[in-house]
Amino acid sequence: MKLTSSFRIPAPPAQVFAHFLDPDSMRVCVPGCEELERPDPAHYRGRLVNEIAHVRFSAGFTADVTEAAEATDGAPAQVRAVLRGEDRRLGSSIKVDARLGVRPDAADAAASEVDWDLDIALWGKLGRLGESIVGRRSREVERQFVERFTAVCAAGPPGPDNPEVRVRGAGSGAAAGAVPLRTPLPTPLTPPAAVPVRPAAPVLPRPAAAVVGGAAGAVTVLASRNRPVTPVPEIVPMPSGPAGRTARRAGVGAAVRDRAAEVAARGRAVVAEIAGRVAERAASRLVARGTRFLDHRRAAREGAAR
């Protein structure tokens, strides 16, 4: 999938071009960019978290700058880079071949005209979403990026001292020099507050009862607004003697019958699935045989005609 766009930035070309190569500026301008660092002038690495059609992905990525040329007489400043990312949880990967150009605005020498070309390739779950969905989301991300990048470029030169970079970095928790707290603060040693002691509830004698399920016993239904209706077996007294043994046998028999019915249903489903596969294979073989037969007849007719 290829994307092409151009937009105007109210800042000189040299400053705009420097912002594009600055990791602090890019981290706060690219939507969903949580980490971005530049180990050397030609390589970047970071992490991008975003969402496409309710599919959330978190991809670690690398960007290799293959060309970076500053503006010369008649030629705009230009950058070419290859970005590769992967989300192992989704089993998806992405590759972007990018070209970006910055030239002076024809109407205003203090402004710049930016144009870029992106060649995007997606694999895995993200690739199955479709070009229209990915393209629509890419346009939304582009609008957000242009808005943020315009504000950052207009605020001054690149770097962590840029006011817009400082504000946006602090808002996203990615401010320069911020170190996450890995250990909790020590708790002051203060005596615990007195906890009122409630009197213990009286212990009532437990009636001789048993939980009877299946055919023997009733069911009480408890309904809740926030939870589904849950059947709760009622505790009923169990008769003693021969009547109690008969009730227990009836409950066990009902449980065994329910389990047998469940196993039989699963067996029927497995048999149906196997039968479907066998029928599908038989149909495939029949089609193959018919095709070979027709090919032989056609070859025989062609040989007889010759």
pLDDT, one tens digit per residue, over 28-87 is 999 999 999 999 989 999 999 988 888 888 999 999 999 988 877 778 899 999 999 999
Retrieve residue 291's tokens: 């095709």
DSSP labels, 172-205 = TT--TT-----SPPPPP--PPPPPPPPPPPPPPP
Question: Within 10 Å of residue 33's Cβ, how many Cβ atoms?
Answer: 20
Locate tokens 């027709």: which residue?
294
- Secondary structure class of 14 (helix, strand, coil): helix
pLDDT, one tens digit per residue, over 124-166 is 888 888 888 888 888 999 999 999 999 999 999 998 888 889 8
Residue 229 has pLDDT above 90, yes or no: no
pLDDT, one tens digit per residue, over 292-303 is 888 788 888 888
Q: Is the full-model pTM beyond 0.75?
A: no
DSSP labels, 23-67 = HHHHHHHSTTEEEEEEEETTEEEEEEEEEETTEEEEEEEEEEEEE
Residue 181 has pLDDT above 70, yes or no: no
- Secondary structure class of 91 (helix, strand, coil): coil
Domain ranges across the chain: 2-171, 209-306
- CATH number assigned to the domain with residue range 2-171, chosen from the 4 options 3.40.50.300, 3.40.640.10, 3.30.530.20, 3.40.47.10: 3.30.530.20
How many C-alpha atoms does 80 have within 13 Å on its Cβ side?
5
